[in-house]
Structure 1
Amino acid sequence: MQSPPFRLTDWHRFLFGNASWHFLLEVLLRTCATYVLLVIAMRLLGRRVAAQFTLFEISIVVTLAAAIGVPLQAANRGMLPPFLIALVAVVLQRIIAAAGITHRRVETMISTDVTLLAREGRLEPAELARAAMPREKVYEAMRLAGWQHLGQISRLYMEPSGAFSFIPARPAKPGLSVLPAIDEELRDEARVPGCSACLQCGNTVQTDESGHAGDLRCDNCGSREWTYAVTEVER
């Protein structure tokens, strides 16, 4: 069946498609039913889904969205299939969540495990690579949390949800600055004489007063790129 020719004056087709305006009333009812379905489904999935998504929970939500989107606007699609898909998604999530309570391996297999990205002021290059996490993303998260350099943290974890958790170092030691390069004034103010930091991982070494590590090889990541280490600047 051929579609009718395109006409700029065909406002009915432009606004309603091939359906009559009465279908708008059905869309209203479908939307109300879908809203109730989503509220019930999210409530059954639990508070954890409403907080921060893991990879598995994102998959559940995307499945619900894909199942519900088409029947809202298609007159030839019924509402029973989305209800069945939502039911299966909720039951599957509840089963896996219950299994994860007693078997941690199930939880980590589905949602991944906590990743240790930094230890004692030094980044872990192998863990960063395994998590596909750029260093600048870590520095951004540190700045948002109020940190100025790597020496201020004892541990940096990436949670299964993708959020970052920090354990502060007590006391803090000089480290690699995470401040942006455009703020060179503050970075220079925090400089620690006689201490250099590896540009790749933040490992610190003692140097001469000039702060140059020369051709020294970092014993944590193997890099030969160095910069001055910094301390916290009170503002």
Structure 2
Amino acid sequence: MQAPPFSLADWHRFLFGNANWHFLVEVLIRTSATYVLLVIAMRLLGRRVAAQYTLFEISIVVTLAAAIGVPLQAANRGMLPPFLIALVAVAMQRLIARAGITHRRVETMVSTDVTLLAREGRLELSELARAAMPHEKVFEAMRLAGWQHLGQVSRLYMEPSGAFSFIPARPAKPGLSVLPAFDDELREEARVDGCAACTRCGDTVQSARAGDSHCEHCGSRDWTYAVTEVER
């Protein structure tokens, strides 16, 4: 059926669509029922869903949103299917979460595992590629956490939720700067003479060993000066 032409005078169709105003009362009831359904579902899913989402939690929330969105606005859609979908989603989440308590492999299959992105001031390029994580995203996370260079970090992990966690190096050693390239003043102030860093993986060596030689860890020939922490 062809839709009627748009008319500025047709306020009823503009505001209510093809339904009458009585459907607004039904929308209020549907919305209230949906709200209660979501509160119960999120409560049953557990507190971990209220934290940063893993891929599995995101899939559950998207499923709930897709199931509940349409019946709120469509008079010809009943409310029983969304309740059933929410029940199945909650049951699956709780079943898999319970299985993950005793079988870690189940947990890692649905939520992925912790990824080691940096070790002893050097980026693990193979893990970065596997996680599709660009260098600048790692450097951004380090800057937000207050780090200035890779040599300050003994371990850098990416958690299943996508968050980053750090283990500081004790003591820190010179490393590749994570500061923006345009901040020449601070980078130069932190420069360590006689020490070079690979721009690709962050491995640090004496400047005399760098030059045009290959990095022992990644094979790159691109070197820059290493830096240390600058007190501000």
Bin of the TM-score, shorter chain as denominator length? over 0.9
Q: Percent identity?
A: 85
Shift of 1:98: 0.3
1:218 maps to which of 212, 215, 218: 215
The CA RMSD over aligned residues, in Å, is 1.0
> Which residue of structure 2 lines up, in the alignment, with residue 162 of structure 1?
162
Q: Distance in 2 between matches of 1:216 and 1:5?
A: 72
Q: Deviations over 1:9-41 (max 9, x none)?
A: 111101110011111111111111111110110
Moved over 6 A (4+): none
Q: Deviations over 1:186-219 (max 9, x none)?
A: 00000000000000010001014xxx93211111
Unaligned runs of 5+ in 2: none
> Which residue of structure 2 lines up, in the alignment, with residue 36 of structure 1?
36
> Which residue of structure 2 lines up, in the alignment, with residue 171 of structure 1?
171
Aligned pair 1:232/2:229, yes or no?
A: yes
Alignment of structure 1 residues 121-136 onto 2, 5 Å: 121-136=121-136
Q: Deviations over 1:63-100 (max 9, x none)?
A: 00000000000000010000000000000000000000
Q: Distance in 2 between matches of 1:2 and 1:109?
A: 48
Q: Distance in 1 between matches of 2:140 and 2:63?
A: 31
Aligned pair 1:205/2:205, yes or no?
A: yes
SS at match of 1:53: coil
TM-score by length of 1: 0.97
Opposite residue 74 of structure 2, the aligned amino acid is A
> Which residue of structure 2 lines up, in the alignment, with residue 93 of structure 1?
93
> Which residue of structure 2 lines up, in the alignment, with residue 68 of structure 1?
68
Q: Deviations over 1:94-132 (max 9, x none)?
A: 000000000000000110010000000000000000000
Q: Distance in 2 between matches of 1:87 and 1:31?
A: 18
SS at match of 2:4: coil
Q: Distance in 2 between matches of 1:181 and 1:95?
A: 48
> Which residue of structure 2 lines up, in the alignment, with residue 180 of structure 1?
180
Q: Distance in 2 between matches of 1:150 and 1:2?
A: 63
Unaligned runs of 5+ in 1: none
Q: Distance in 2 between matches of 1:162 and 1:195?
A: 33
Shift of 1:4: 2.4
Opposite residue 230 of structure 2, the aligned amino acid is V
Shift of 1:8: 2.1
Opposite residue 211 of structure 2, the aligned amino acid is G
TM-score by length of 2: 0.98
Q: Distance in 2 between matches of 1:144 and 1:55?
A: 23
Shift of 1:7: 1.5
Q: Distance in 1 between matches of 2:192 and 2:86?
A: 58
SS at match of 2:21: coil
Paired positions, count:
232
Q: Distance in 2 between matches of 1:78 and 1:27?
A: 12
Opposite residue 24 of structure 1, the aligned amino acid is L
Opposite residue 103 of structure 1, the aligned amino acid is H
